[in-house]
Amino acid sequence: MSASERVVIVNFKTYLESSGARAVVLARICESVADETGVTIVVAPPMPDLASVIAAVTIPVFSQHADDLKPGSTTGHVALENILASGAKGTLLNHSERRLRISDISSLVGNAKRNGLSTVVCTNDLPVTRACAGLEPDFVAIEPPELIGGDMSVTTANPEIVSESVRVAKKAFPGVKVLCGAGVKTGEDAAKAIELGTNGVLLASGVVKASDPKRVLLDLAAGVQR
């Protein structure tokens, strides 16, 4: 796997540390690390900050979620067409904090593909990883919910679920790229993710809540390139 296929996705979630003007500041830091290291860094800012972040950076910006509905007379939802119109390049789907039905994921992945948007489908265990990879998204991201936001990386707490996710996902759809997340904070964690067969990591608190996010991002970028 070449270094250019290695990815760090930073989910800003709804943390205040990564909201409003601070979303733009953090996205610019991510952009500077992507420029300095050559690693692809994708950011998923809070939904109200999508447009301001897209206007401020050239790295890919993703939505944190999409709803399986047509744009128009709906309120408080986000259609893929709205994401496309914002200028975002893709979307997370089925995050542990925003689950979707498999029928909705299937429809969203197909529709995203037709519209040129990338999809990252989050999964919580092996059967879900297998099923979601079979829908042929760009990425699946294995994130055991009990480890999200915690201090121990999934790569240390449960390395088997990461390597097995790679195996079952690639068997279901050889073209899928696999990420892992939950508790990932260091270059060591990211390097272990690569060693376990992934293309990189999806993380949040390790960057968003860091006192020096640039230092953490440089460490993560070095880790995925090891």
Residues with catalytic roles:
95, 143
Helix 159-172 and helix 126-133, axial crossing angle in degrees, nearest 10: 30
Question: 93: exposed, middle or buried (C-beta count within 10 Å: 0-12, 13-18, 19+)?
Answer: buried
Binding string to ligand G3P for residues 76 to 95, with x set by CB under 6 A, is what?
-------------------x
Stretch that binds ligand G3P, among 32-40, 81-89, 161-169, 196-204 (CB under 6 A): 196-204
CB of 155 to ligand G3P, least distance (A): 12
- The full DSSP string for 27-39 is HHHHHHHHHHH--
In whole angstroms, give the CA distance from residue 201 to residue 188: 12
The two most distant CA atoms of the chain are separated, in Å, by 49
Binding test (CB under 6 A) with ligand G3P, winner from 183, 187, 213, 223: 183
Binding string to ligand G3P for residues 206 to 225, with x set by CB under 6 A, is what?
x-------------------
Toward ligand G3P, which CB reaches closer, 11 or 198? 11
Contact, 181 vs 150, CB < 8 A? Answer: no
Contact, 214 vs 208, CB < 8 A? Answer: no
182: contact with ligand G3P by CB under 6 A: yes
184: contact with ligand G3P by CB under 6 A: yes
**Which chain residues interact with ligand G3P by CB under 6 A?**
11, 95-96, 143, 148-149, 181-184, 202-206
